[in-house]
Amino acid sequence: MTYVEGFVLAVPAANKQAFRDHAAAAAPLFRELGATRLIESWGDDVPDGKVNDFKTAVNAGADEVVVFSWLEYPDRATRDAANQRMRTDPRMAAMGEAPFDGKRMIFAGFAPMLEEGPGGDTGYVDGFLVPVTPANRDAYHAMAAKAVAVFQEHGATRVVEAWGDDVSDGQVTDYRRAVLAQDDEAVVYSWIEWPSKEARTAGWEKIMADDRMKPDGDTVPFDGKRMIWGGFIPVVDA
């Protein structure tokens, strides 16, 4: 298992190349500090929700695109040490001003409770944020473990479900506000990796028709109305 630092942010559409260049320039520093992978994925199929969605999660403007990204570390201790060093490393300041509003970026640490599949070259990502009560953690894990076999059978290369472990409240935005989390709920940061958008489209058609994806009984271990999701195209995979 790895440890995940998950990010969601809003980037002006006009700044796409500047954002990609900025992230690619930072990747060597993250690797030096212990990160094993950096993914930056650009919003491609990010629907509006009836209650909440990725756009409201980061107060995205009409001219902005949502980015779903994460850093993978071997463990939390490595991630904590990396964050501490980044605060004082002059190379971070030397990269200049970020091409997005950092005040609306949300980020937190997540501990994977399910991580299946070899991954590889990732051509498309489905990203999810889910509110789940600790009392339903085992039930959620069981549901996810059942679903992952179906996802992989229909083309997904990797599935990760990561439980909120170091999730702070933000001054403007944060993960708890993103899913309208109640006091007794945690936030799950989850994603599915696909080799391409075409594989993702074909895969979801088969998944939705698969009888194994029907819920057991009437109880789902989270409030699906507040789950947010979207499809993203990786622009940096380092």
pLDDT value, residue 161: 98
pLDDT value, residue 6: 98
Q: Kind and range of the H or E element at 130?
A: strand 124-132
pLDDT value, residue 214: 84
Taking each helix axis from N to C end, the angle separating 197-209 and 137-153, rounded to the nearest 10 degrees, works out to 120
Tens-digit pLDDT profile for the chain (238 aa)? Answer: 699 999 999 999 999 999 999 999 999 999 999 999 999 999 999 999 999 999 999 999 999 999 999 999 999 999 999 999 999 999 988 888 999 999 999 999 999 999 999 988 899 999 999 999 999 999 999 999 999 999 999 999 999 999 999 999 999 999 999 999 999 999 999 999 999 999 999 999 999 999 999 877 667 999 999 999 999 999 999 9
**Residue 79 tokens, joined:** 């991630």
CATH number at residue 219: 3.30.70.100
Domains identified in the chain, total number: 1
**Burial (CB count within 10 angstroms: exposed 0-12, middle 13-18, buried 19+), residue 185:** buried
Q: Distance (Å, rounded) from C-alpha 59 to C-alpha 55? A: 6
The radius of gyration of the chain's CA atoms, rounded to the nearest angstrom, is 17
Q: Which of 155, 75, 58 is nearest to 109 (CA)?
A: 75
pLDDT value, residue 136: 97
Q: Which of 117, 120, 123, 115 is nearest to 202 (CA)?
A: 123
pLDDT value, residue 218: 66
pLDDT value, residue 93: 85
Instruction: Quote the domain boundaries for residue 153.
Output: 3-237
Q: Distance (Å, rounded) from C-alpha 30 to C-alpha 109? A: 15
| Alpha-carbon distances of 169 from 53, 210, 236, rounded to whole Å | 18, 38, 28
pLDDT value, residue 39: 97
DSSP, res 171 = S
